[in-house]
Amino acid sequence: MADKSNDPVALWQKMIGEMEKGFNAFAARAMESPQFSQALNQVGGATAAGQKQLGELMEKYLLTMNMPSRAQMIGMAERLQAIEGQLNEIKAILHQMQGNAAGSGGVYAPAPRPPRTKRPPPTTAGGAPKPGGEQK
């Protein structure tokens, strides 16, 4: 077996372990200080402001390019869902009405036409009206 005091991998692992311990101790001390918290809050605030500004710029760019923004696409999707819901309700009502009509008459029949009471004047073989008929 190789001697651990001369093994380069073991030395490397020991060195990395010591570096990790030192970094962890430094980070723990840094996070305890109020200055670190203030700096972290400032960075977070700047990031949020940057994201907001980028969002506004993108919306203006999309408006210039005559393209919908994310908010507009979400609005359209919500309206489409509402329309689909209304169509489904209409379909259900139509199926229900068809079922009611089938139960009462068997087949859904159109509304009856009113009787035709006015008749055209009688004609002769040549297509002319008969003598004695009314002419307008």
Measured distance CA(77)–CA(100) in Å, rounded: 35
Closest CA to 4 of 13, 22, 29: 13
- Residue ranges per structural domain of the chain: 8-67, 68-101
As beta bridge partners, residue 123 has 129
pLDDT tens-digit readout, 33-75: 888 888 888 888 889 999 999 988 988 888 888 898 888 999 9
| For residue 31, pLDDT beyond 90 | no
pLDDT category at 114 given cuts 50, 70, 90 is: confident
pTM tops 0.85, yes or no: no
Count the Cβ atoms, other than its own, within 10 Å of residue 114. 6
Q: Which residue has the tokens 């919500």?
A: 78
Residues 106 and 94: beta-carbon distance below 8 Å: no
